Amino acid sequence: MENSRKICADIVEQVLTKNSYSNIVLRNELNKHKLNDKDKGLITEIVYGTIKYKYTIDVILNSFLKNGIKKLDSYVLNILRTAVYQIKFLDKVPNFAAVNEAVELAKKKKSIGASKLVNGVLRNYLRNLNKIYYNQDNIVEALCFNYSFDKWLVNLFINQYGIDTAEKILKGLNEKPAVTVRVNNLKCSYDEAYNRLNEAGYDIEEGYVCPEAIVINKGKSVEFNPLFIEGLITVQDESAMLVAPSMELEDDFQVLDLCSAPGGKTTHISEIMGNTGIVKAFDIHSNKLSLVKANAKRLGINNLVCEKMDASIFDEKLKASADCVLIDVPCSGLGIIRKKPEIKYTKDLKALKEIIDVQRKIMNNAAKYVKPKGSLLYSTCTLNKKENEDNIKWFLKNNPQYTIEPLYYGKLDNFIYSQEGCTTILPNKYMDGFFITKLRRQW
């Protein structure tokens, strides 16, 4: 287990100090080492938990470090972070084991002095487990500490949604996400895929809202399962799974997906259209288009064409060419924090403002690519209203030929249907935070 603690600290160091992506680093490190399933599971839990609760952990550590965390060696800090996470949030790891292994790791990787510091801080923390670290009369401080979010982000959600919904969002963003797969109706039926997963020993259930969805609660990595390899299923969150059906696709349609990589929504469009018509998949990064092509090949899709393009620059040859256009625009990603917890600490208000200009350029261009009476589907994986409702209001003001066509997915407690016809999906165990609005070109 000592090696596993080192792997945890190594991954957290790469993510929090070198701004690497948690899912990519974790996958690479787990594949690099010979580990049993139990150790892989514990490493995954410690890594994501430490990143998720970094704000809370740092508040705790700052109270036991004379000079605070800023002047501390980053690797020593990340050893401390992973140890505090285990002590505070993991019942399955004894406190003495978390402390001893952190001390030994600091000694081995850094110095005896570092190990003494780690030992002193952690044992001091253990003596003060009931200490209160925030002003209990301040609701913002309480939410920040209890859900581990920076103040600017807590304030943003409170200002946009009110305290009750803001707390629901914070709670949802800390949920451990279920793995959800979409059944590929080009290759098999829902029942066939469900039964085969069940027979393979997976703990599964039907989707939360999507008829094509199967939720995998427990089981080995689905990417090594024959059903995935053969293209009968593909991994996709249920929020994203709602996009393609919302477009009211028909056979032989001409469809554009302007920001397509890695291709989850694009391939879903092709599946719904039964491999008829043509689906043009664009992305600004040619290397990401290779993911779209690989997904399409695995799923048996042959009506999809990939092309590199910057969606923020108008392309005259696409003017009024499409029955439907999808713009799943680049966004702040505040709705997918439960899967990529480092987003909590890599975004700020400046970054949120800067991306809106790009989003609006893409929206304006997309408006010109839709045929009269065709549809435009706008989606994001953020909960920032300035990227969502405010962008739609701006778009309608600048494109009067469009109107909103309200969507309805059922009465679910994490769905918010606005008076104007926009849909916001709050995060929970089954779904990412998401925003969907369908627009119809009238002339």
* 1 has a pLDDT exceeding 80: no
Query: What is the C-alpha R_g of the chain?
Result: 23
pLDDT for the residue numbered 2: 53
pLDDT of 93 reads: 86
Percentage of the chain exceeding pLDDT 70: 100
Domain carrying residue 229: 179-235
The per-residue pLDDT for range 64-114, each reduced to its tens digit, is 999 999 989 999 999 999 999 999 999 888 999 999 999 999 999 999 999
310 in a labelled binding site? yes
Rounded to an integer, the average pLDDT of 37-47 is 92
132 domain residue, yes or no: no
The pLDDT value given to residue 296:
97
Query: Tens digits of per-residue pLDDT, 136-173?
Result: 999 999 999 999 999 999 999 999 999 999 999 999 99
* Residue 379 and residue 419 share a domain: yes
- 197 and 228 in a single domain? The answer is yes
Do 68 and 202 lie in one domain? The reply is no
Considering its fold, how many domains does the chain have in total?
A: 4
Own/partner contacts of 354-358, CB < 8 Å, gap of 24 or more, are 355/330, 355/331, 355/387, 356/386, 356/387, 356/391, 358/312, 358/329, 358/330
**Does 32 carry a binding-site annotation?**
no
pLDDT at res. 3: 84
Residue-level pLDDT at 310: 98
- Distance, CA of 396 to CA of 375 (rounded, Å): 14
How do residues 334-350 score in pLDDT, each as one tens digit? 999 999 999 999 999 99
In a domain, 103, yes or no: yes
CA–CA gap between residue 210 and residue 223 (Å, rounded): 21
260 and 327 share a domain? yes
> Would you state the pLDDT for residue 220?
85
Are the beta carbons of 78 and 12 closer than 8 angstroms? yes
Residue 278 pairs with which residues in a beta bridge? 254
Q: Please report, as a single letter, which amino acid is at residue 180.
A: T
Per-residue pLDDT tens digits for 211-220: 999 999 988 8
Range ranked top by mean pLDDT from 18-27, 32-41, 63-72, 254-263: 254-263
pLDDT of 403 over the 60 cut: yes
Pair (160, 255) in one structural domain: no
Say whether both 169 and 206 belong to one domain: no
- Give residue for tokens 């929090």: 16
Chain segment 238-275, per-residue pLDDT in tens: 999 999 999 999 999 999 999 999 999 999 999 999 99
Residues 314 and 183 placed together within one structural domain of the fold: no
Please tell me which residue, 20 or 190, carries the higher pLDDT value: 190
Catalytic status, residue 324? no
Residue 326 CA to residue 377 CA, distance in Å, equals 5
Q: Is residue 208 domain-shared with residue 73, that is, in the same domain?
A: no
Q: What is the CATH number of the domain that holds 221?
A: 3.30.70.1170
The verdict on 229 and 253 lying in the same domain is no
In the predicted structure, residue 316 carries a pLDDT above the cut 80: yes
The pLDDT assigned to 132 comes to 96
264 in a labelled binding site: yes
Q: What is the pLDDT of residue 206?
A: 97
Q: Region 384-413: what's the mean pLDDT?
A: 98
pLDDT at 37 over 90: no
The reported pLDDT for the residue numbered 440 is: 98
Is 133 inside a domain boundary? Answer: no
Give yes or no for residue 374 having a pLDDT over 80: yes
Does 134 map to a domain?
no
Q: Is 263 annotated as a binding residue?
A: yes
The tokens for 316 are 């005259």
Mean pLDDT of the chain: 96
In the block, residue with structure tokens 């209001």: 393
Q: Does one domain contain both 183 and 167?
A: no
259 is in an annotated binding site: yes
pLDDT given for residue 341 in this prediction: 96
| Whole-number pLDDT of residue 208 | 96
336 vs 161: CA distance, rounded Å: 17
Is the pLDDT assigned to residue 5 strictly greater than 80? yes
Among 306, 324, 381, 422, the active-site one is: 381
- Domain co-membership, 67 together with 86: yes
Residue 407 lies in a domain: yes
In a domain, 118, yes or no: yes
Residue 279 vs residues 186, 268, 320, 360, 379: alpha-carbon distances, Å? 16, 10, 15, 23, 18
Strand pairing of 304-308 and 322-328? unpaired
Q: What angle do CA 185, 186, 189 make, to 5 degrees?
A: 40
CATH number for the domain spanning 434: value is 3.40.50.150
Cβ neighbours, 10 Å, residue 155: 16
Looking at the domain assignment, is residue 358 inside a domain? yes
- Taken in order 61, 63, 65, 67, the sign of the CA dihedral is positive
Q: Residues 313, 389: one domain?
A: yes
